[in-house]
Structure 1
């Protein structure tokens, strides 16, 4: 039986000279029965959800101690203020988008990020409406391009706004980049002395080639208290079979997770392992440049 080994992007909270680091800000605006929309920002660092804020409280909070210790109390306060200011800013932009759709119902999403690659920090920014691509930012010109015919008037309007370009530059230089650098340094410090488990993802295609059976194997000498799960775009996958711990020949223990996915979809899966002092994952998806080997 042949399996395709998709060991694609193995990222433990460790740093090498060639490793890229990405900090993402995922925005969601939902229409509510009241006049005020529901708003939230989820912040993701190297595949790990590090904090989350909602318009109900404007508190940016993290459930990981090492993330909480990355920023000072004053910096966390600034993150709270950033969340609140982004709410009012995006509330205004939301009205412009709803105008072209002629509706106040729907979900508006935005993904903006900065990525460090060879000491150069690159920015990306895109919008979606009701699950469809809407606008994408050109990081060089800082101009928007439409991904939908309905987005054309919004593209023209936003590209003429005088405050838009300074706002985009400010986000990169004063919000995203400094936070990314602090998280990178804390990540290096945090991982000293932590041993990582071995994680592999195997993909077994179906006979018709439409689906893949994803199998994640986690192996380590100490799996007591370790949390293992599969996530899809940062959300825990429910329909996963998880085996009981089984011994290996070298004295270590393994756990296996399995689920099915449509190979034609650009899914973004992570096999995630968490312990009290460790976060590690292996990722699989079409967006990766991954190595392939074959096992008999």
Structure 2
């Protein structure tokens, strides 16, 4: 007796940075035929015959339905959080793998570990050293545990290079990039283990660790799904690893809870600035940290939880002139308004929420001070001009650094003539 099954699955969960994520998957007789997910919310066909079976108008209607379902399920998610009596705390531990062709056609590997949306380890070619990316992580792992992670990264590189070649032998088009994600979402009521593979930016395979079954997300993945269904030892190893992530998430939470007290830097202040480069979308993103002591403090800029660690320029700590010191980190990056940029240190985070030049969000306040300046004429002009404009002494270094910007220089020089006549007592030239 023939039986046909049509099923729609919806998932809502916290993604990087704590943002809610939505996914809708439509299956016909066990095969994925449509998939729609944040942030695009486009319900894309996953089988060739499906593309030909729907008109363009019918496909557009599915996109709108997906947006409606996203809104409805976000509302249901919040309602359930308000209703349930058990703990709503959710912990997510996720490992992302990427294989792609680098310069000269050589295969490159990257492994990124995220805990609750924040990158805690990264490992990549050619060093294959799984480096901590959070201060508490460095303190929470022994040297022996860190060395073990380096070896695991080398092993994963070998395994994923082999999988990349296997997939290339199976599909008709060349695989330029392989992406894989393994993870566990857990709370007080249970756990959910997931595994997804993608090729060339498209969903390719998913693995159900409970059923030990693979599901093809596109037609070309069907032969490999069938073959891997028969890989008994491999599938049990993947199931074990996925379940171990749930245990590791609990251990990480305990380690994080037991990290050293942050009370030594309760007065620490963070600032984040953006300075667009004319003629494009590239900007300088700069993070400032200020305290009476910055011993043992480091800062990083992140994009959706991933550290911006290429081309980083750090200055300081430098004295501010009021007993505090300041340290700055700057990167040059292409700004994407759909992403969240943060300046992070071990106990505070500040979000860059406005792409306008020199926009900053400040935790804490910086009292203005009166400055007595002993310097040459240009430096004097900048410093006095900043005082007249009401800028804080902690921002003077930043303005001086950007003095090449014509608008700032013009304002400072215009104010200089008036100030020099009004406050001669401030002028002291070196002997």
TM-score in terms of structure 1 length: 0.62
Aligned to 1:231: 303
Does the 8 A contact of 1:196 with 1:280 survive in 2? no
Aligned to 1:93: 163
Whole-Å Cα distance in 2 between the matches of residues 172 and 82 of structure 1?
Answer: 15
Aligned to 2:246: 177
Whole-Å Cα distance in 2 between the matches of residues 166 and 178 of structure 1?
Answer: 17
Aligned to 1:77: 147
Change (3 A) 1:192 1:147: same
Does the 8 A contact of 1:29 with 1:38 survive in 2? yes
Change (3 A) 1:107 1:9: closer
Does the 8 A contact of 1:27 with 1:40 survive in 2? yes
Task: Spell out, residue by residue over 1:252-290, the C-alpha distance to the aligned partner (whole angstroms, 9 max, x if none).
Answer: xxxxxxx875xxxxx6x4453412x225588xxxxxxxx
The structure where helix makes up a greater share of residues is: 2
Does the 8 A contact of 2:182 with 2:242 survive in 1? no
Moved more, 28-37 or 99-108: 28-37
Correspondent of 1:158 among 199, 224, 228: 228
Uncovered stretches (5+) of structure 1, i.e. residues with no partner: 1-7, 198-220, 237-258, 262-266, 283-296
Deviation at 1:76, TM superposition (A): 1.4
Whole-Å Cα distance in 1 between the matches of residues 199 and 109 of structure 2?
Answer: 14
The structure where strand makes up a greater share of residues is: 1
Whole-Å Cα distance in 2 between the matches of residues 105 and 92 of structure 1?
Answer: 13
Partner of 2:258, secondary structure, is helix
Change (3 A) 1:183 1:196: farther
Deviation at 1:118, TM superposition (A): 1.4
Aligned to 1:285: none
Change (3 A) 1:196 1:172: farther
Whole-Å Cα distance in 2 between the matches of residues 105 and 260 of structure 1?
Answer: 27
Change (3 A) 1:119 1:66: farther
Does the 8 A contact of 1:24 with 1:44 survive in 2? yes
Counting only pairs closer than 5 Å after superposition, residues 21-32 of structure 1 correspond to structure 2 as: 21-32=91-102
Whole-Å Cα distance in 1 between the matches of residues 92 and 204 of structure 2?
Answer: 23
Higher alpha-carbon Rg: 2
Partner of 2:181, secondary structure, is strand
Uncovered stretches (5+) of structure 2, i.e. residues with no partner: 1-16, 21-85, 269-289, 309-334, 352-431
Counting only pairs closer than 5 Å after superposition, residues 234-273 of structure 1 correspond to structure 2 as: 234=306, 269-270=339-340, 272-273=342-343
Whole-Å Cα distance in 2 between the matches of residues 118 and 83 of structure 1?
Answer: 30
Whole-Å Cα distance in 1 between the matches of residues 260 and 350 of structure 2?
Answer: 14
Matched length? 225
Aligned to 2:182: 112
Deviation at 1:81, TM superposition (A): 1.6
Task: Spell out, residue by residue over 1:10-59, the C-alpha distance to the aligned partner (whole angstroms, 9 max, x if none).
Answer: 89xxxx94211111111000134668521110111111111111242221
Whole-Å Cα distance in 1 between the matches of residues 210 and 152 of structure 2?
Answer: 24
Whole-Å Cα distance in 1 between the matches of residues 187 and 130 of structure 2?
Answer: 27
Whole-Å Cα distance in 2 between the matches of residues 62 and 162 of structure 1?
Answer: 34
Change (3 A) 1:279 1:28: farther
RMSD: 4.0
Change (3 A) 1:69 1:191: closer
| Bigger RCO (CA 8 Å, 6+ sep) | 1
